[in-house]
Amino acid sequence: MGMFDNFFRNSKKSSTYKPVFLRALLDIADLHDPKKSERMAGEDWLCRVGDRLRLDLNFIAIRYAKYYWDMEESFHLRQTQDSHGARIIRIIKEQMKTWGKRAPPGILQLESGGMEAFRKKVINQAIKPEVLYHLRTDMPDLYVRLGGNIIELDYGLVEFLHEHKTIIRQGLNGVIAKYLEKLNRMTPQIANKIDAERISRKPLNPRFKEQMHKSQKSRCFYCECRLVRTHVDHVIPFNYVFSTDPYNCILACPRCNCLKYDRLPLRSTYEEVLDRNQEMKFVGRGIRKFDRRSYRQLFNACRQEYNGNKRPFIPERCV
Ligand SMILES: [Zn+2]
């Protein structure tokens, strides 16, 4: 299967579309799993015909949309050089209006009948014009188009992908990360964000929590009310820094923590965090030490690349 080799070596990447499409396609590998007992999302859109696999693009669309929806909702990463932004993101933003403030849809929700019109848009306005045509140049033998939403692949590919799934997935993630790093120059942890489903938030080390209680005199960092229930707040939003390092954590009351959500605080409040960091000694292995200058840079980078035009969080002082 030299075509994957060719894709990794020679393909021109001017967006994340192609590697994201291939990552979605990679799931056909699970068809070959003899231990597979659960139904795979979108399985009905796959059908074996002799030595060919017939695939309805809806199978790709639900995975493709899920990647971009999750990335947009959580990380606001730029996905294309195009100054108008990615078309797939515009389609998703449109859909978000009817979806409301709920968490992004899971793959099974995307598969459901209610999302049919959305999937159709994803296929006709994003996947067909932006991926299928261009992928043809990189991997001419990957599929044959049969018209409508149907493409046909060599069934041998299922077995091949099953055998090499992990390494191909890592390769594709690497391609996506490399491209996103070019476009989102200052954003931390891009590679981990792409594989985010596997990563959960680590809680703050209890030792640091105790230290913070002392330094804050058990009061909320923002509104200064006495802490009864305590939340750990990521001063620069977690989804931007994507780590729970103590330099970026303070203790807050649940109300401030929830109201702040994924916003930045005022710059003046932020300066107080810098002072706090200088006073506190975060000792321990693996603790990143930020000097004032680099931590200020991180704040500015977050404002430019992540925050958009959201207002900064201003706490209401408690009475
Ligand atoms: Zn508070």
Q: Calculate how far, in angstroms, residue 304's C-alpha sits from the geometric centre of ligand 1.
A: 26
Kindly state whether residues 159 and 221 are assigned to the same domain.
no
Of the candidates 28, 10, 267, the residue with the CA atom closest to the CA atom of residue 169: 28
Q: Calculate how far, in angstroms, residue 278's C-alpha sits from the geometric centre of ligand 1.
A: 22
Eight-class DSSP state of 248: G
Of the candidates 27, 131, 117, 119, the residue with the CA atom closest to the CA atom of residue 79: 131
Q: Is residue 10 part of a domain?
A: yes
Torsion of CA 66, 67, 73, 75, to 10 degrees: 170
Q: Calculate how far, in angstroms, residue 225's C-alpha sits from the geometric centre of ligand 1.
A: 6
pLDDT tens across the length of the chain (319 residues): 678 888 888 777 778 999 999 999 999 999 887 777 788 999 999 999 999 999 999 999 999 999 999 999 889 888 888 777 789 999 999 999 999 888 899 999 999 999 999 999 999 999 999 999 888 888 989 999 888 999 999 999 999 999 999 999 999 999 999 999 999 999 999 998 988 665 567 788 888 899 999 999 999 999 999 999 999 999 999 999 998 888 899 999 999 999 999 999 999 999 999 988 888 876 665 566 677 888 899 999 999 999 888 999 999 876 5
| Containing structural domain, residue 50 | 2-198
Kindly state whether residues 142 and 62 are assigned to the same domain.
yes
The residue out of 165, 198, 231 marking a domain boundary is 198
Of the candidates 260, 247, 255, 257, the residue with the CA atom closest to the CA atom of residue 294: 247
| Per-residue pLDDT at 319 | 53
Kindly state whether residues 136 and 54 are assigned to the same domain.
yes
| Per-residue pLDDT at 173 | 94
Place of tokens 């967006």: 15
| Per-residue pLDDT at 68 | 94
Task: Give pTM, 2 decimals.
Answer: 0.85
**How many domains are there within the chain?**
2
How much of the chain is in helix, strand and coil states, percent to nearest 5?
A: 55, 10, 35
Kindly state whether residues 63 and 113 are assigned to the same domain.
yes
Kindly state whether residues 286 and 137 are assigned to the same domain.
no
Within 10 angstroms of residue 177's Cβ, the number of other Cβ atoms is: 19
Q: Is residue 313 part of a domain?
A: no
Q: Calculate how far, in angstroms, residue 258's C-alpha sits from the geometric centre of ligand 1.
A: 9
Q: Is residue 207 part of a domain?
A: no
The amino acid at 269: T
Kindly state whether residues 71 and 163 are assigned to the same domain.
yes
Using CA atoms, how far apart are residues 34 and 90, in angstroms rounded to an integer? 39
Q: Calculate how far, in angstroms, residue 260's C-alpha sits from the geometric centre of ligand 1.
A: 10
Kindly state whether residues 28 and 165 are assigned to the same domain.
yes
Q: Is residue 266 part of a domain?
A: yes
Kindly state whether residues 237 and 188 are assigned to the same domain.
no
Kindly state whether residues 192 and 221 are assigned to the same domain.
no
Q: Calculate how far, in angstroms, residue 222's C-alpha sits from the geometric centre of ligand 1.
A: 5
| Per-residue pLDDT at 170 | 93
Q: Is residue 157 part of a domain?
A: yes
Kindly state whether residues 158 and 38 are assigned to the same domain.
yes
Kindly state whether residues 85 and 221 are assigned to the same domain.
no
Q: Is residue 99 part of a domain?
A: yes
The token duo for 211 is 């230290």
The token duo for 209 is 């929590």
Element (H, E) at 23: helix 17-25
Q: Is residue 144 part of a domain?
A: yes
Kindly state whether residues 108 and 224 are assigned to the same domain.
no
Q: Is residue 318 part of a domain?
A: no
Q: Calculate how far, in angstroms, residue 254's C-alpha sits from the geometric centre of ligand 1.
A: 7
Q: Calculate how far, in angstroms, residue 318's C-alpha sits from the geometric centre of ligand 1.
A: 7
Query: Any long-range contacts for 292-297 (C-beta under 8 Å, 24+ apart)?
Result: 295/247, 297/186
The residue out of 149, 164, 198 marking a domain boundary is 198
The residue out of 198, 233, 251 marking a domain boundary is 198
Q: Calculate how far, in angstroms, residue 70's C-alpha sits from the geometric centre of ligand 1.
A: 29
DSSP states of 254-306: HHHHHHHTT--B-HHHHHHHHHHHHHS---STT-----HHHHHHHHHHHIIII
Whether 143 and 153 have beta carbons less than 8 Å apart is answered as yes
DSSP states of 101-112: TSPPPPHHHHHS
Q: CB under 8 Å to 33, separation ≥6 — which residues?
A: 162
